[in-house]
Structure 1
Amino acid sequence: MDMPIQKALAEGVLKILRPLARVLLSHGMACGTFTELARRAFVDAAFEQLRREGHRPTVSSVSALTGLSRKETARLRDAAPEEDASSQQRYSRAIRVISGWVSDPAYLDHDGQPAALPMEGEFGSFHALVRDYSGDITPGAMLQILQASGNVELVDGRPNLKTRAYIPTATPLERIGILGTDVAELVETIGHNLEAAPVDRFFQRKVSNYSIPPDALPAFREHSNQQSQALLESYNAWLMRHQVDASEDPDQPPCYVAVGIYYHEDFSREGQS
């Protein structure tokens, strides 16, 4: 075993787990529950790794790979994960509705901005927008979701898009769902880049500075919000132009792709260089 790598991994894992532990503790999750979930994650990952390597995964092989007993491995393999599918559906479809609103010409005004939409109508209405982009969520339910998140307000009875970034504010389950989805995607990207050849690595960059005065942070936060939102909208417009229906080519199903941007402040690192 390469001890320097194991030490670096241990240090990296602790950096991930400390902020995660703060989130879990603040929401009432005990260490024992987290330990059980960690064991299940190791078993799930081991089964997946063996399949990816072309092996037939068994309880014995997964037990050997993870260090867990065969009995424990079998128990964890059969444990059904608890997921809030309805919450994730609301989250993803709200994003799709806003994406259509800011990029589809049918829902833009003469200046190319998201229009204040009539509530009803076959074309160019809020009902049509929800029909085109949210699947089976009703217009009334979608309006409630977007109003609760602060994205939409009614002006003279017309839904008006106030902000283009969908961040649930009144739906704790959806906000917690972001923790699982977005952090997982970042970790998977970093994991891919650790093993992939340079030409196959995914883009992974950040900018940081330890010498910014605190009174300058609000201005930079606003600047970064505006620039990041504009970039994400550019990406979204490209994706909307190239998306396909899953039924168009059953032999070549569409792929999922995501680009994320985050902002972070940390006063505890003051004075580092």
Structure 2
Amino acid sequence: MSEPTDPVPSADGSALHGPVARLLRPLVRLLVQRGITFPALTNLLRELYVNVAEYDFALPGKEQTDSRVSLLTGIHRKEVRRLRGAGAPVSPVPATVSRTSRIIARWLAAPDFTDPAGRPLPLPRTAEGGAPSFESLVASVTKDVRPRAVLDEWLDRGVAALDEAGRVQLLEAAYLPRGGGEPQLYYFGRNLHDHLAAAVENVVGPSPRFFERAVHYDGLSDGLAARLEERAREIAMEALKQANAEAHTACAEDAGGRHRWNFGIYIYREAVAPPGAETPDPAQVERGRTP
């Protein structure tokens, strides 16, 4: 890993203004909608600036001083002294998110719980002789919660349903929390962080390190845009299922370590105004969703 160096303002530093404004606009819309004011965001950014300068730009063998952090960030030394050591805000993984996502991932990947085509099998609640069941599925992932409690939660949230034979059927091929609650906001922060971190690494590094590509077309009709979105969803889900199956198999033989890996896909479409025309009412713009 290369040693951190002091950032040097470049002649093209202003070139970041436009891209940054564009990537922040949806975030600002969410902040305003959720009642997070500009002063509140300013306080959060001040903490982050100090934290990044303190740890990401520390020089090997040298003590990071208040003066240097102040120089790097433009924040007064008094404020730096107050904020140093506070640590960056962290979004912990909600217990229900970790548990649910791991159980679904295993149901979609483990041979005991899938049919020959790789589809999740409907599972009896219990079974004799170690046969696959919802109870054995949950127990293979966690012993900290009763399978019946997991089933009740999933039935209530529409993650699973019971068929005519009383077997448990998985309704979602992924864990998709909704409603803007803690689980959805956790994935919001994690997935966007990883995508942005990969993009930043590709920009600041000597050569692109992470795979980051997109297929994009402009000037489409409403019908074609909708069809492409639907087809993209099908392609994306197949890719995610395959990646999950291969990762699940590989993890069974892995010694373990300190790395984490994230494979994400996003799909987005919106109506845009042609050159010289009025910008469409945002309330009328159809927006895509990120899996």
Q: Is 1:223 paired with 2:227?
A: no
Could you tell me how far 1:182 is from its partner in structure 2?
Answer: 1.0
Could you tell me how far 1:78 is from its partner in structure 2?
Answer: 4.4
Q: CA RMSD in A?
A: 2.6
Q: Distance in 2 between matches of 1:66 and 1:145?
A: 46
Q: Distance in 1 between matches of 2:188 and 2:152?
A: 23
Match of 2:57, SS? Answer: helix
Q: Which residue of 2 aligns with 1:59?
A: 66
Could you tell me how far 1:173 is from its partner in structure 2?
Answer: 1.4
Q: Which residue of 1 aligns with 2:54?
A: 47
Q: Which has the larger radius of gyration?
A: 2
Q: Which residue of 2 aligns with 1:234?
A: 242
The question of whether the paired residues in 1 share the 8 Å contact of 2:93 and 2:186 is answered with no
The question of whether the paired residues in 1 share the 8 Å contact of 2:67 and 2:77 is answered with yes
Could you tell me how far 1:215 is from its partner in structure 2?
Answer: 2.0
Residue among 92, 108, 115 paired with 1:109:
115
Q: Distance in 1 between matches of 2:140 and 2:202?
A: 36
Relative contact order (alpha carbons < 8 A, sep ≥ 6): 1 or 2 greater? 2
Supply the AA of the counterpart residue of 1:23. L
> TM-score of the superposition, structure 2-length normalised?
0.80
Match of 2:24, SS? Answer: helix
Could you tell me how far 1:110 is from its partner in structure 2?
Answer: 5.1
Q: Is 1:174 paired with 2:178?
A: no
Q: How does 1:1-273 map to 2 (within 5 A)?
A: 1-4=9-12, 6-51=13-58, 55-79=62-86, 85=92, 87=94, 89-109=95-115, 111-121=117-127, 122-134=130-142, 136-147=144-155, 149-155=157-163, 156-170=165-179, 172-198=181-207, 201-243=209-251, 248=255, 253-270=257-274
The question of whether the paired residues in 2 share the 8 Å contact of 1:149 and 1:167 is answered with no
The question of whether the paired residues in 2 share the 8 Å contact of 1:96 and 1:134 is answered with no
Q: Distance in 1 between matches of 2:43 and 2:171?
A: 42
- The 1:160/1:203 distance shift into structure 2, 3 A limit, reads same
> TM-score of the superposition, structure 1-length normalised?
0.85
Supply the AA of the counterpart residue of 2:133. S
For structure 1, which runs of at least 5 residues remain unmatched after alignment? none
Supply the AA of the counterpart residue of 1:168. P
Q: Distance in 2 between matches of 1:268 and 1:115?
A: 43
Structure with more helix by fraction: 1
For structure 2, which runs of at least 5 residues remain unmatched after alignment? 1-8, 277-291
Could you tell me how far 1:113 is from its partner in structure 2?
Answer: 1.9
- The 1:132/1:22 distance shift into structure 2, 3 A limit, reads same
Match of 1:133, SS? Answer: coil
Q: Distance in 2 between matches of 1:209 and 1:152?
A: 36
Could you tell me how far 1:244 is from its partner in structure 2?
Answer: 5.5
The question of whether the paired residues in 2 share the 8 Å contact of 1:169 and 1:175 is answered with yes
- The 1:7/1:86 distance shift into structure 2, 3 A limit, reads closer
- The 1:41/1:93 distance shift into structure 2, 3 A limit, reads same
Q: Distance in 2 between matches of 1:136 and 1:245?
A: 24
- The 1:81/1:193 distance shift into structure 2, 3 A limit, reads closer
Q: Distance in 1 between matches of 2:210 and 2:49?
A: 24
The question of whether the paired residues in 2 share the 8 Å contact of 1:50 and 1:56 is answered with no
